[in-house]
């Protein structure tokens, strides 16, 4: 049986993540309050950020930027606008 949570991002009850997807306290907040659907939305947005800004996950500055964007995307007012990005 799936683990159901009240998803903070979607504002409804939804299937929760199976495992922690991020380390530390932020990872625990994500596990406790973000659904699989909302997490997949973040993964798609993160991929777009990585590609548009040519970020490297091994660069500490880029990782910090991605973590801040993740927190805004999942728990804040939504994602920051990406300059010159036009979705297909």
pLDDT in tens, 32-62: 999 999 999 999 999 999 999 999 989 999 9
Of 20 and 84, the structure prediction assigns the larger pLDDT to 20
| Mean pLDDT to the nearest integer, 65-79 | 90
Q: How many residues are present in the chain?
A: 88
The full set of domains in the chain, from first to last, is 4-75 (1.10.3880.10)
The secondary structure of residue 3, as a DSSP letter, is P
Tell whether the model's pLDDT for residue 1 goes beyond 80: no
Would you list the DSSP string of 26-82? Answer: HHHHHHHH-BHHHHHHHHHHHHHHHHHHT--TTSHHHHHHHHHHHHHHHHSS-PPP-
pLDDT category at 20 given cuts 50, 70, 90 is very high
Q: Angle CA(65)–CA(27)–CA(34) in degrees, nearest 5?
A: 95
**pTM exceeding the 0.75 threshold for the entire prediction:** yes
């Amino acid at each position: 049986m799936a683990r159901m949570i009240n998803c903070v991002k979607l504002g409804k009850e939804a299937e929760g993540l199976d495992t922690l997807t991020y380390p530390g306290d932020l990872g625990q907040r994500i596990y406790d309050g973000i659904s699989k659907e909302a997490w997949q939305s973040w993964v798609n947005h993160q991929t777009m950020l990585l590609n548009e800004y040519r970020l490297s996950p091994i660069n500490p500055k880029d990782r910090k930027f991605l973590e801040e964007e993740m927190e805004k995307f999942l728990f804040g007012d939504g994602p920051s606008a990406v300059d010159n990005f036009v979705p297909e």
